[in-house]
Structure 1
Amino acid sequence: MASFTVTNLLDFGTGSLRQAILDANGLGGTDEIFFDSGLSGGTINLTSGELLITDDLTINGLGADFFSVDAGGSSRVFNIDDGDDDNFLDVLLDGLTITGGSSGESAEGSGIFNAENLTLTNSIVSGNSSFDDVGGIFNSGELTVTNSIISDNYSFDDASGISNSGELTVTNSIISNNESFFGIGGIKNSGELTVTNSSINANFGANIGGISNSGELTVNNSTISGNFSRGIGGISNSGELTVTNSTISDNNGYFDTGGISNSGELILTNSTISGNFSQGPAGIFNLGEASVTNSTISDNDSKYGGSIRNSGELTVTNGTISGNYSYYSSSITNDIDSLATISNSIIAGNTTFIDNNTSADVAGDFTSNGFNLIGDITGSTGFENDLTFASLGGISIADVLDTNLTNNGGFTLTHALIAGSPAIDAGNNNDISALTDQRGVGFERIVDGNNDTIAVVDIGAFEVQQQSTAVPETSSMLGLLGLVIVASGSILRRKLKRKL
């Protein structure tokens, strides 16, 4: 293994980054490149085209805030490809800002093109642009992004942040403020994508704001928020999508769907969908198969589609669907020839401006386990044996739960059941599919919440814990960063809306 030190900010000659990469490409084995500490605060301005890496290499930068490589709009920044589809290089880029990249026609990835095994850590990919291809990063190999920021990249009609057709893992990172005039704002995935402890926020794409998935997408402990689109705001899924312990919030899909549009397979667990807006369905538009478990859908705002519109196969177990507004439809609408099965769930406290002879809560034909709490069942079938506001003596949603979404513990905001709520111990233990409530570990799913010595599951996503007299203290798991990101996403969403 050879080691090289970059000693100047020139783009050619002895001591330059380009020369160090050329020398490393000519040697076998994994080589390393370091930078003289005296270069801290500097920028290498590329004048001789992209930096091509064709051998195993580690580049140790001086920190993304202190050192950058800038293509100045004249070329791509990094091209990581040895041209051999049967050989995969191992490349690490650490502590760099990668900016100013611009790829030509049919040249994917203005900031980084990767066809190998690339790990990007502690870095920033920002300010790269492309007219008809990917602005930030294009990956057809294996890409791991950790502790990094992909922001403020631009594409005219493709993905502005990241496009992945290989394997992509994003951990402890932020994908934000990327913009595509005709395409996708945040991430386009047709391969395998895992997002963990990360934020996809404040991106704009005319078709899709946050993530477009036609492959396999897993979202864990993450926030998809404040993304804006004329089409779908948060996530568009035509593949396989699993969302766990995550928040989909404040996205605006102006003409299509606010939160998630699913035509593939969706599994949503221990998550919250809130504050999304659309002329169509604000929370979820399902045309495929969707399973919603231990999750909250609240405070979404729709003109025609409600919080959920189902045109496929939908299962909701221990869900709380409350506080949603629709101008012209119910909170959940199950279309003709579609299947919606509801178990141990609260669908109540939703509002509509024009009732169209249906309730604000449910419309269509449903299959129920008979252990739900539905505010008003007018205009629907299947809930005749469930609890309703009328059957409970004309109560209101304030008699059931805290109408404010609150941090009651866990990774996401929830609606806590109030003392004496008719939802406490009113579910069916045989229909649960999880050992905890929405908040996760430490919050058991079957508890004797009314202290009658019989442990019965509560209706809804929240389970009252035995002898609990106060809301748990604010959990550090939500994090100040997440709150700041959501707020900034909301601000950008309003700004982008004014642009339209």
Structure 2
Amino acid sequence: MAAMSRNKATIIGRVAAGSSLLVGGIGATIVLAPQGSALPPVPTTLTVTNLDDAGIGSLRDAIDTTNSNPGSDTIIFAPGLVGTITLTSAPLVIVDDLNIIGPGVDLLTVSGGGTLPNFLALGYDAIDPENVVISGLTIANGKSIDPLIPFLMGSVLAGGITAANMSLTLTNVVVRDNFSDLTPTEAGGLGGAGVIHIGSGDLDIVDSSIRDNRSSSPTPSGGVVNFGGNISVTNSSITGNISSAGGGLICAAGDLSSSGTILSFDGIVAISDSVISGNVAESGWGGALIYGGEVTVSGSIFDANVVGAGSQYVAGAGGLELAGSRSITISDTRVSGNSAPTVGGLSVTNISAALDAPADFVAVLDRLTITDNIGGPLGGIPDNGSGLLGTVGGLSIRSSAVLGSSTISGNSGVGVDVSGFYSAFNAVDSTPSVASSTPTSSGAFRSLLRSTRKNVASNAPLAPATVSIDHTTIADNTGDGLSSLRMNHAEDFVNSPTPTEPAIAIGHSLLAGNAGQDLATPATVRWSLLQKWPSVAVAESDNNLVGYDPELQPLQIISPTIAVRPILFGSVAWNAGNPDFTPPPETDQRGLPRIVNIIDIGAYEVQEKLVTPAFTG
């Protein structure tokens, strides 16, 4: 990512070699490695020999030694050393490149004892951030305390681990049962209970679990908070975290300005083979809120996350909210059983309209399972700054997009809602509210919302969104199957540009059994099935089946990330597609051959072949 113009001394206060750095309310004297030294770095490996809080052979002593030694050092633990290191004097402060290799998450725990934060990793230089790697241990029972790390954007401190201007990698680590009750300054703050990464550098979470952390702070918080840089979450879980303003993961990936706000959402976000489940937020976002330049999600689960109707921030998606400025790709992913006052399941938005360089990219949504999510009541939640968004149970698309080989079923609210290009925050009420009058709301995230509103109001709308929906089943949702609900409520938005009418094309898709209309927005429809006659314009359409019951079968679980609504051999949707169809796609949603005899309609392809009896005359 682009270099930033500040160094660490500007961000966290003047820090000189041998100085006393006030962290977490405790003055800890840290002997810092001289910057600009002519001596070449000499990597050192130190061994921790006891579980003491401090003193010779302790983890604190080893970290202090590496802080005074320029270059990348390594800390290991003596064979057979297992148990808990309980911190009693101060957090563990890392200010140089370091690799801590623990014996295993079940063998070694670093605990804040319920009174102290566990780890602070504070980088010298925003342009060339240090690298900290922690593996093979548990970080538990930490607590954020005042005063905190004074970023210009407000106070910042997590109970588990805080990294500022550092590249942080957590591999085979458990971060659990940490707590934050951060009191925001007038500038605001971030109070993630488990992990906070802020400033330059990247955050990588691999083979790890961030779970059961709690935050009562009114600041943006959750299991993991990333503000600046790039982030990846691989084969990991973020589960059971509870907070006032945010749930599992809050991410704004990009460059941080000197005032502590995001300059541009150009960071790279990648989530793969991971589970974000069972997180609860009083307001904000349940499973994950992700802002970035290039956003990719694959092979993951967003399940049973809950957002309440609190008043601190805009109510976002219950399961997953993706906002990209250059690209969004989500595939082989399940979003199920989530709930929120607005969008219950998944929200996808092109936010480039709010930036200086609008990009008419096409979001790719492939092989998705979006089921049993709950959207809020029609008319939205009053007096919380969210506007009147209505109820979208399953999927909200505010971008050009291609939705393919997916199942959207059993959601409370609209199954799929498609709206034109405009900012993710176009519906944020710009008039003062309870949220905007609090110190926390004038900090990082509230200023982000304000600047986004200002930019989108001054930018002309992009070209109309073009959305293709192919080989997809949208069934048995309690609202309309496919609508433009947010377009219909455009008059309720405050300070919003007039949204442009999306162009929707539907092919080889099955819309049936929805409590409202199966199709409630103008579209071009070909080789598809609509169980109900649409009440809207259907232009340039042909070879459709309208008014037929496809006799969909109950939801069938194929894998942790894939579930489908099968059709039976002989269903009206069986062999009802274009006989001249040629791949792609090569497979149906399950990964089985897409064409057996003639392609079927919907996400499911019957694999039983029609056998013509041989003539025996």
The TM-score range, normalised by the shorter chain, is: 0.7 to 0.9
In 2, the alpha carbon distance for the partners of 1:409 and 1:459 equals 22
- What is the identity, as a one-letter code, of the residue corresponding to 1:192? I
**Structure-2 separation of matches of 1:152 and 1:214:** 24
Aligned to 2:379: none
After TM superposition, the structure 1 = structure 2 runs for residues 29-428 of structure 1, keeping only pairs within 5 Å, are 29-40=71-82, 42-103=83-144, 104=146, 105=148, 106-114=155-163, 115-130=165-180, 131=182, 132=184, 133=190, 134-140=192-198, 141-155=201-215, 156=217, 157-164=219-226, 165-190=228-253, 191-205=267-281, 206-215=283-292, 216-230=294-308, 231=315, 232-239=317-324, 240-253=327-340, 255-264=341-350, 266-279=363-376, 280-302=391-413, 306-312=414-420, 313=465, 314-326=467-479, 330-334=480-484, 335=487, 337-352=501-516, 360-368=517-525, 370-382=526-538, 385-390=542-547, 395-398=548-551, 401=552, 403-408=553-558, 411-428=561-578
Note closer, same or farther for the CA distance 1:228–1:364 as it changes in structure 2 (3 Å cut): same
Q: TM-score w.r.t. structure 2 length?
A: 0.66
Check conservation: 1:176, 1:186, Cα contact below 8 A.
Answer: no
When the two chains are superposed, the root-mean-square deviation of aligned CA atoms in Å is 2.4
CA shift in 2, pair 1:385/1:116, >3 Å: same
For 2:585, the equivalent position in structure 1 comes to 434
Structure-2 separation of matches of 1:122 and 1:56:
19
The SS at the match of 2:65 is helix
The code of the aligned residue for 2:419 comes to S
Closer/same/farther in 2, CA of residues 201 and 14 from structure 1, 3 Å limit: same
TM-aligned CA deviation for residue 184 of structure 1: 4.0
Instruction: Give the CA deviation at 1:225.
Output: 0.6
- Equivalent residue letter for 2:529: L
Distance 1:82 1:422 in 2: 63
CA contact (8 A) 2:301 2:561 kept: no
* Structure 1 residues 296-351: Cα deviation after superposition (integer angstroms, max 9, x where no partner): 1011112xxx112222233211111112223xxx2211346333221111111222
In structure 2, relative to structure 1, the CA distance for the partners of 1:296 and 1:468 (3 Å cut) is farther
SS at match of 2:365: strand
Cα contact 2:238–2:248 (8 A) shared by 1 = no
Q: Hey, what's the Cα distance between the residues in 1 that align with 2:159 and 2:554?
A: 44
Q: Distance in 2 between matches of 1:409 and 1:19?
A: 48
Equivalent residues of 2:550, 2:573 under 8 A apart = no
How many angstroms apart in 1 are the aligned matches of 2:276 and 2:128? 32
Structure 1 pair 91/270, CA: closer, same or farther in 2 (3 Å)?
Answer: same
- 1:96 is paired with a residue whose SS is strand
How far apart are the structure 2 equivalents of 1:95 and 1:411? 28
Amino acid at match of 1:122: N
User: What is the one-letter code of the residue matched to 1:162?
Assistant: V
> 1:218-261, CA deviations, whole angstroms, 9 ceiling, x for partnerless residues?
111110110000332011233243211110100011x2010112
Q: Which amino acid aligns with 1:374?
A: L
Letter in 2 for 1:139: H
Contact 1:96–1:124 (CA<8 Å) still a contact in 2?
Answer: yes
Distance 1:107 1:76 in 2: 12
CA shift in 2, pair 1:463/1:180, >3 Å: same
Query: Match of 2:605, as an amino acid?
Result: E
Q: 1:296 to 1:87 in 2, by over 3 A?
A: same
Percent identity reads: 33
1:2 maps to a residue whose letter is T
Structure 2, unmatched stretches of 5+, are 1-42, 149-154, 185-189, 254-266, 309-314, 351-361, 377-390, 421-464, 489-500, 612-617
SS in 2 for 1:364: coil
Match of 1:489 in 2: none
Q: Which whole-Å CA distance do the structure 2 matches of 1:364 and 1:409 have between them?
A: 32
Confirm or deny: 8 A CA contact 1:376 1:388 kept in the other structure.
no
1:77-105 deviation line (CA, Å, top 9, x unaligned): 22223312233333321111112333344
Structure 1 residue 63 displacement after superposition: 1.6
Q: Shift of residue 197 of structure 1?
A: 1.0
The yes-or-no answer on 1:444 pairing with 2:486 is no
SS in 2 for 1:21: helix
Gaps of 5+ in 1: 353-359, 450-455, 470-500
